[in-house]
Amino acid sequence: MKKLYLPGTLLAALISCGCASIAVTDQALVERTAFALGIAKEDFTISNRVNEGAASRYLVRTKSGQSYRCLVGGSIGLLGRAVSDAICTKDGEPARNPLLGR
């Protein structure tokens, strides 16, 4: 009987994994970044994407020459993909906590 439960358990574990490379699509990165920076999707480029478990870190360069370092989290669960908002910090400035407003 235990053998019948093992495949179901493995499937559930795989479905609920937090793999950013699968959960966070390029389109989601562009949409979340445009919203976070308040600029049009055509006004920036994304490069140097690195997937780290449940997060994707990447660089953003705007057409005006500004650079940002951004982070988006993502996971896949029973209800589908879940992608967080982008958190971006301008190059050369210390990281800020958006919840503290500092």
pLDDT of residue 31: 94
Measure the CA–CA gap between 82 and 55, rounded to whole angstroms: 11
pTM of the complete model: 0.73
pLDDT of residue 78: 80
Strands 80-83 and 55-62: unpaired
Lowest mean pLDDT among 7-11, 51-55, 75-79, 95-99: 7-11
Handedness of CA 101, 87, 37, 75 (dihedral sign): negative
pLDDT of residue 82: 83
Report the length, in residues, of the chain: 102
pLDDT in tens, 14-27: 444 556 667 788 89
Question: Can you point out the beta strands (E) in the chain?
Answer: 44-52, 55-62, 67-77, 80-83, 87-90
State whether residue 84 is helix, strand or coil: coil
H or E element in which residue 30 lies: helix 26-37
pLDDT in tens, 28-74: 899 999 999 999 999 999 999 998 888 899 999 999 999 999 999 88
* Type of residue numbered 79: L
pLDDT of residue 91: 87
